[in-house]
Amino acid sequence: MPAAYEQYLVPVVFRPFAEDLAARAAALRPRRILELAAGTGVLTSALLTAAPSATVTATDLNEAMVAFGSARSPGALWRQADAQRLPFPDDGFDLVVCQFGVMFFPDRVGAFTEVRRVLAPGGRFLFNTWGPLAAHAFEVALQAGLERAFPVDPPQFFRMVPHGYADPAVVAADLAAAGFTVEDEQELTLQGRAASTADLAVGYLTGTPVRAAVEERGDGPAVRAAVTEEMQARLGPGPVTAPMTAYVFRAAA
């Protein structure tokens, strides 16, 4: 899964936001950065470039992602870690960053409380989270493809998880409950550029957790064909450019 995620999704969907988040991080002049849910390291790499004087500790719950990311971005210290039980001492970092990871935390207030614990006084928590599914053109087309392939009970992973934390008021309330002060909140729409819609479909179907749902429900090649056909009908075969909306938060400990 990490290889497909890195090859097909990172350049199109995640790198534009990683470059934005890294620039915001560098503007804070951090010395000790902790990254949560680092995945294959797209943000990690951008942080190492944007803030070369800072030490970067990158973590992910998934050991396969840690192994892949540590090879991709060896300039960071990589560790397997659960964001809800961080294996770091109090006050150990002046910046914690997370790209599109907070939606996956089962207990977000608990995870945010852990983030605050490991931040030095006055430290910042900088992260982004996807907006509503309807504001992400690639994933609107993907979901339509899944509904075409599975008309009775289509997988709802993208609607419920990546786009399931899309109310800024709820996010701000969770941060406040963990003891943070929200300093900045922005809606950000960037353009994703894919050379091939078919490759993008492969990335979503094999490089994300929806892969398991697809494998459980039916014939993989037939599903891939149906999803690809629907995505191409909506987006074209490629190259294609489409908008993607996220929210960016900066909170102070």
Angle at 203 between CA 136 and CA 227, to 5 degrees: 70
What pTM was estimated for this model as a whole? 0.95
Question: Within the chain, which residues score under 50 in pLDDT?
Answer: none
Q: How far apart are CA 86 and CA 82, in angstroms?
A: 6
- Asked if 25 contacts 52 with a C-beta cutoff of 8 angstroms, the reply is no
| Cα-based distances in Å from 40 to 134, 136, 206, 217 | 26, 22, 15, 27
What is the edge-to-edge ordering of all strands in the sheet holding 240-252?
A: 77-80, 55-60, 32-36, 93-99, 119-130, 240-252, 181-194
Domains, the chain: 2-252 (3.40.50.150)
Q: Which helix (H) or strand (E) holds 113?
A: helix 108-118
pLDDT at 191: 98
Condensed to tens digits (0 to 9), the pLDDT of residues 87-124 reads 999 999 999 999 999 999 999 999 999 999 999 999 99
